[in-house]
Amino acid sequence: MQRKQEKNLKPTMRDNRRYLLVEKGKSRKEIEEAILEYIGILGWARAAPVFVKENIIAVNREELDKVRASFELAGIRVMRVSGTLKGLR
């Protein structure tokens, strides 16, 4: 029995993500709570945050301002924002 090979998404169909470098010492739980408290469950789904490394988070480009605002209200400092991981260095 042959399996169908899944096709990759076209580049135009993929989510455009921005990478945020947050200050060290902030836990994943603190970051999640900050986002959920300010923009809620629906905002979380729209932002689709992915924790790349300990202090690097990838979010959907359209929701970047809302995520940054939630960090400001929670006292979490965003050190840098970039379109690529290499740009955060």
Overall fold of domain 17-88: Alpha-Beta Plaits (3.30.70)
User: Cβ distance 67 to 40 under 8 Å?
Assistant: no
User: Cβ distance 22 to 61 under 8 Å?
Assistant: no
Residue 19's H or E segment, with its range, is strand 17-22
Q: In the chain, where are the structural domains located? A: 17-88
* pLDDT tens by residue, the chain, 89 residues: 677 777 888 888 888 999 999 999 889 999 999 999 999 999 999 999 999 998 999 999 999 999 999 999 999 999 999 999 999 87
Cα 80 to its chain centre, rounded Å, is 13
The pTM is what?
0.83
